[in-house]
């Protein structure tokens, strides 16, 4: 996504952008931009600086609410990169659920002139000691001052209606599957269609339900191999992260078999047998 957005909005040559999918990938000294996940940044220390060992000059942290806890390993890795950058942009579309104090570590990254957390908290929030004597930040105070600082000094707020016209249109694509077979002859398929839509009485709900289920399973069986081949092609072409939905367990089993080799277990399957806990 970021590769496409850099090209679309920044006019960046894709050849100058390196997307890191695996920690073992060496940094390209000719790349002007490096795109890497938070998880890889934690595990691979060589990614904390560019290919020449210098701090990154321009850093963009997408979904920055994931790094608001300064004690987390992920946050510490991101802070190490962000604190040395000359330019820093933090992006998030997720609301702050508890208190604006959750944003303080991120605000401190953007503005090093901010006071310490305690001073900031006492100015903009009412404090209340818990049973262990530690201050909990309760309701806000000086809200207008804080709002002015957040959205006129360091922050830019964009509502959905403001940016909707800038977003690309939804893309829907129909994939034609070739050489599909369900193991039935043409005559058998026609006979099934006749039973489904021709002779069945409208009141014979049990009959209709049973035949529809059989037809759906035949459709699934018909396209199973073709779907697996298509998914394999996507993997071979480097599709990146994606969601894959299927209805029948047999189809899910077949798709999982297709994923096991290329992904080597780096996927999650969720079906009716998955423990919700």
Average per-residue pLDDT for the chain: 83
- Where are the CATH 3.40.50.10810 domain residues in the chain? 2-166
pLDDT digits (tens, 9 = 90+) for 12-51: 999 999 999 888 889 999 999 999 999 899 989 999 999 9
Report percent pLDDT > 70 for the chain: 85
pLDDT on residue 261: 83
Inform me whether the pLDDT recorded for 193 exceeds 70.
no
More confident residue, 83 or 193: 83
Cα–Cα distance for residue pair 223/93, rounded to 1 Å: 38
Instruction: pLDDT band for 97, please (50, 70, 90 cuts).
Output: low
Q: Roughly what angle, to the nearest 10 degrees, separates helices 249-263 and 205-236? A: 10
Flag whether the pTM goes above 0.85.
no
Question: Given its phi and psi angles, is residue 197 left (phi above 0), alpha (psi -120 to 50 degrees) or beta?
Answer: alpha
The position carrying tokens 């290329």 is 262
The domain made up of 2-166 is a member of CATH 3.40.50.10810: yes
């Amino acid at each position: 996504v970021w590769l496409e957005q850099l090209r679309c909005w920044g006019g960046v040559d894709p050849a100058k952008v390196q997307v890191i999918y695996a920690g073992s990938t060496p940094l390209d000294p000719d790349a002007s931009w490096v795109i890497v996940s938070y998880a890889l940044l934690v595990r691979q220390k060589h990614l904390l600086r560019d290919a020449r060992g210098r701090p990154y000059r321009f850093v963009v942290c997408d979904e920055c609410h994931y790094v608001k806890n300064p004690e987390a390993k992920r946050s510490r890795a991101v802070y190490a990169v962000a604190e040395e950058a000359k330019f820093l942009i933090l992006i998030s579309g997720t609301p702050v659920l508890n208190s604006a104090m959750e944003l303080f570590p991120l605000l401190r990254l953007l503005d090093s002139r901010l006071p310490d957390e305690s001073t900031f908290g006492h100015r903009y929030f009412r404090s209340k000691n818990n049973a262990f004597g530690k201050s909990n930040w309760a309701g806000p105070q000086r809200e207008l001052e804080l709002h002015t600082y957040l959205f006129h000094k360091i922050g830019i707020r964009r509502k959905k209606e403001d940016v909707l016209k800038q977003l690309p249109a939804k893309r829907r694509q129909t994939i034609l599957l070739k050489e599909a077979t369900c193991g039935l002859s043409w005559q058998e398929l026609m006979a099934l269609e006749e039973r489904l839509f021709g002779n069945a009485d409208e009141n014979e709900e049990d009959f209709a339900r049973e035949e529809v289920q059989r037809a759906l399973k035949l459709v699934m069986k018909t396209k199973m191999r073709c779907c697996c081949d298509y998914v394999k092609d996507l993997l071979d072409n480097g599709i990146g992260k994606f969601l894959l939905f299927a209805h029948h367990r047999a189809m899910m089993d077949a798709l999982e078999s297709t994923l096991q080799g290329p992904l080597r277990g780096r996927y999650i399957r969720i079906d009716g047998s998955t423990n919700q806990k």
